[in-house]
Structure 1
């Protein structure tokens, strides 16, 4: 079995989903090879071959000449000691990627995104067009050679692709089209988070028959083993990261991504995509999580553990304080009373917690209550202060334009954030998208958002007149210009955002200072 993680996703850590699949397959004696074609492909385009010459503009030429230095900056701690140097490295690498893609296909490519002006990943017909012309994809020189070598040396019976984000879709289909054309006897399997979302639509009809042999929704371990004539007789297997060398990723050391659960234990928030798609919640027993983390830390010596859960359960947080994993860690948590306890936050810090991502969403209590967030602003205020006192950085997520929000509500959010600016380290500011087939969508007047049979969201007539245009105007003209908020936003690592934010937090970041 050959498992592929296609471009383009931020190349800072291994794909946890494929590490888990590899662990499951190998635990049952199934031979498999895992290839992070995302990281490999981006590094291939950044190899310097054929990039910039004297005919190019000064910026692109200089960016190309400093490629090696910029890559070294992101692979070494020194690149994170100076924010300007860090930002310059990312800007220049993106410049080279834009040139590499644009000169061949008119595509737009960065370290975190891939788009084509004439093809949309939201239209199945366009994805099939990408499959029919793989040589038009800027990654073709990489994957044409790489996949051919793998197929000829391994002779796998199946090749699986993990498609999780829209930014991967066009490249995934180009790679599958190449395989179908050049190796027609090989079975192609498609799975991943984005595929699961497509298949959760009540109108789903597989448009990829003839290109893809099998499509898997949700957790792939057991269905994949069944396709291979085996079964999963033991859930206590370790994710396997052996196929992911640390120098493949743009981080100052190996980041260990790990999921202790699937879905969300809260599952009450209105307009939640997880709830709309009917994704069930399942969790690995806490004791097993702790023992696996400790074993993986001993094996891989990561500089950072990235806990990928939608929200870390209270039971797991308690367990981490009692039995630390042995490396710094960060993850997403719900704002709850425990986080307002300075002693508990101190115990989290002692366990290695360096940063917590917090889904505050709004600074208006009425909005939070209407969305069934289960968050008290009073508790949120105390939690932010307790985390700051304990030395744990906070990455606060805000969501504007929900059906319950008005401009007056947004103003309250601005006031809350400005008042708590000394206790907020990073901010993620997003505009609400309405899940296309959630139960709450039926209560709103909806219309087409992005055209395409694979679109996951709908536009809607805001019941309070707080439409996307007004929301964006408020964010750009007022919210982001507030001096206290502007200072927070300027701290956010460009492009890599929360994935690299812990490296700018002492004492994890900037060792020796």
Structure 2
């Protein structure tokens, strides 16, 4: 059998995503050799950022301007006076941008990446170029890392069925037909797997599935990824999605995909495929119980076939995993633990072997641990092995502000190549820490951030504003921990990402909303694929008040945080920190 795995737009352009290389490595380990994998997101971006494509855009903008000049209707929306004004503005900007877009792309892939002003200017040019392209599909807006379909809801199956057929507002229909569909079909795969792991991939991913099924109805298409893992119950009530794909693989996909391949080659008994959701004879079936992998037996990710030279960075940064799941998993707000149902830890020695192999095979020392948080004892053993073997890796990872995260372990991590640690701070107010069930204390946060800075390990903090019952004063206490802490925010590589609390579908808080001060939960009936809810609270800030405070917190933190590159991209920030450390003069 021939398998084609596809990662659709849009994801961050600095580095590949881990899902397809993990599946590819597993399939090849089990004898399925005809596996191809493509990151269509980065291939598409590379093509859009070319003079050749720009010439085509210019012709279409001119045609659009002439059409709208004669027939523009209304003040806003597609085909309106506003649309015409945007197209005219884009035509005015075009000569400036067309001469600079390919040099901007080259800058991000070369030595100019490390010149902060050139880096900023290049990202600005790319964003303005994508904004220009977007005017053809107004009011849709494309950015490097996202897309906004302003006329449609991503969380309504009815809207999704419309937008994936909307030739005027969905640019991916043009992109895929012109650039990708022919090459996918020319490979004559027996199965196409599409990984949808972010909301920005929902419309592009489903559009691609529709085009593939319409071009070749007999070709088996399956969708995987964390988005639909969180929508298992919803999929039972959305039969229209099964017109676009034969089935969905939810939770972990390695064994499920392998068994699906085996069934397609044999008896086609889909009841044997773990974690599969499929429609048969008009009935939607969910294969349970859900299966979790023995990660000790999983191979290293296989990036063969990925266009590693197309990412917008001068060096390759590879995602890896040391564990799956969260060893803590009590945080009341967190739905991430759903992706991996239980915590499992890889062997440190095997992980070190995998890292050494990938370093040599893909010629890079840079790695990005995607674990929800590294556990302390296995991390200590891994760092001992990395130090003993002198692998000279450079990496970043996520951890918790555990009281047992000692300065000694941090020093071992630094010596093993850890350049930055990502922490979920969420709040610095102790009442809120306890209420969120974070399991951490203010004194641990202070000590660990100070230890990291003293040892030369950069720090990232995630912050949540507006968790139920939080007051404005409590939110500002968290803000002030960052804003008034010059030792922290002046440390090289520091980043901080505030976000507004979202009541997510599978978060632990949903098991007892009343206990968390939530009085009422609402969801528009049309949003049958909603990943979150509207709500009312009994005390603390209302959602509207929280949004206002969030804007204030975001603005104040932005004043003391270096947005580019550190708040923009963990991978870019890792490369900047590595460069800064390599240029520090050694002691005499």
The answer to whether the superposition gives a TM-score over 0.5 is: yes
Aligned-partner SS, 2:262: coil
**Equivalent residue runs for 1:75-474 within 5 Å:** 75-82=109-116, 84-104=117-137, 106-133=139-166, 137-199=170-232, 205-229=238-262, 235-275=297-337, 279-324=341-386, 326-341=392-407, 343-424=408-489, 425-441=494-510, 442-443=513-514, 444-448=518-522, 452-474=527-549
User: What TM-score does the superposition give when structure 2 sets the normalisation length?
Assistant: 0.80
The answer as to whether partners of 1:447 and 1:459 remain within 8 angstroms in 2 is yes
Deviations 1:274-293 (A, max 9, x none): 35678333332333222211
* Number of residues of Structure 1 aligned to a counterpart in Structure 2: 508
Displacement of 1:456 in angstroms is 1.0
Deviations 1:18-70 (A, max 9, x none): 00001011112211110111101111211232245896455453233201111
Deviations 1:300-319 (A, max 9, x none): 12252010011112133212
Mapped to 1, the partners of 2:573 and 2:222 lie a distance apart of 35
CA distance 1:177–1:236, shift in 2 (3 Å): closer
The answer as to whether partners of 1:263 and 1:281 remain within 8 angstroms in 2 is yes
Displacement of 1:204 in angstroms is 5.5
User: What TM-score does the superposition give when structure 1 sets the normalisation length?
Assistant: 0.91
Aligned-partner SS, 1:185: coil
Deviations 1:161-186 (A, max 9, x none): 00011111111111111111111110
> Rg larger in 1 or in 2?
2
| Worse overlay, 393-402 or 409-418 | 409-418
- 1:71 paired with 2:73, answer no
| Worse overlay, 315-324 or 273-282 | 273-282
Mapped to 1, the partners of 2:444 and 2:18 lie a distance apart of 33
Calculate the aligned-residue CA RMSD, in Å: 2.7
Displacement of 1:200 in angstroms is 5.5
The answer as to whether partners of 1:271 and 1:440 remain within 8 angstroms in 2 is yes
Deviations 1:231-259 (A, max 9, x none): 99992422110111321101121111112
Deviations 1:311-353 (A, max 9, x none): 1121332123212253210011111234452x33222111111
Aligned to 1:17: 19
Unpaired stretches in structure 2, ≥5 consecutive residues: 63-87, 264-272, 274-292
**Equivalent residue runs for 1:33-52 within 5 Å:** 33-48=36-51, 49=53, 50=55, 51=57
CA distance 1:489–1:463, shift in 2 (3 Å): farther
Mapped to 2, the partners of 1:109 and 1:246 lie a distance apart of 23
| Worse overlay, 295-304 or 390-399 | 295-304
Aligned-partner SS, 2:230: helix
- 1:498 paired with 2:563, answer no
Displacement of 1:7 in angstroms is 0.7
Mapped to 1, the partners of 2:27 and 2:367 lie a distance apart of 23
Mapped to 1, the partners of 2:321 and 2:298 lie a distance apart of 14
Mapped to 2, the partners of 1:236 and 1:276 lie a distance apart of 20
CA distance 1:243–1:495, shift in 2 (3 Å): farther
